Structure 1
């Protein structure tokens, strides 16, 4: 078990009885469950990005020097492009879900410390940077970034580009470059989520301890028994 996992496990043990509920991707999940799920997903996406980049690079190397991409290669390229589009959508969805978790923690546990505020801003910055970088790559290859705003429109745009040799080469080159940047982007998101979620767990544990201490410090008020015949 790596250090982030050990630290998260320790905080989770402290929060085992905390009756908090998240409003993120898992319906009815507690905050600790939501946080662990977010960390698991970002690790999976980071691994998927590395695998996809390697697969895309292999196909790209076969086709990049060809004036016309052979028809037998295109289905494989299309499959990799579809996987890439889904990965980008899933990663952005995770970033939004993580930001929602931060907001839910703030709502239930009160004003967070500066670390959590910075974490929320970092997630927003990550999404903005990803959109900007992808748009830059698409424009570099003469592709309209507005056609790639959603998963559905991106897949439709890829299908439209497949009708010409120049279009196929453009989306293949753009896809190869975006696959590479997704590796770096997801490594950054993974680092942010590990640090941010640990900070949230620590914050919730501290608040839970504070509430418990306040509850235990309340001194019960004793009332003298009423004597027979007393008014």
Structure 2
């Protein structure tokens, strides 16, 4: 059984996408990040970076104690290795998937996240910051579009992998990121293929039951965007 500490963000969706695809039994423990639940002491024992998602695998398969993990990329890689699914077993295929997983973790996610912040949430509209991150998001969309331009169905070839699961949730809010998928036809086709997968539909329907009325009000902004070193020390 997997205990999933989750909220309805792109990084949270990555893990439900995997669990629904793999059919692994799991229990969701909602962590409402707008209310500051990510600072609860019990959660911090699992996720010292006070971010979702995190998991505890109660049955890791080695006969030992439960394993806890934070960071969505690390969780995806762990689950892929645990199940032997959604990552190739050969040297070249495995590392191809891993490099695109890291591409998302180091590029698409952080840059799109800054795009969200400065375009949607920042109290002051800063044209330079908005342009900077909208353009960088566009560049990254272009990288993915080019990667998919040779007729492959998924990022690393014909097989769906954790690289796709990592990137897809960050493309879902493309309109908020001021991106037009029509300008990226190969990316658009990929996006539609993943959206049509039954497991993807289940994962996103599940999200609606966890976070019934998504909102980021002024109080939530203070929680989400007001953190510094004192947050960790408290």
Taking structure 2 as the reference length, the TM-score comes to: 0.27
Q: Tell me which of the two structures has the higher relative contact order, counting C-alpha pairs closer than 8 angstroms and 6 or more residues apart.
A: 1
Query: Of the two, which has the highest radius of gyration?
Result: 1
Q: Normalising by structure 1, report the TM-score.
A: 0.27
More helix by share: 1
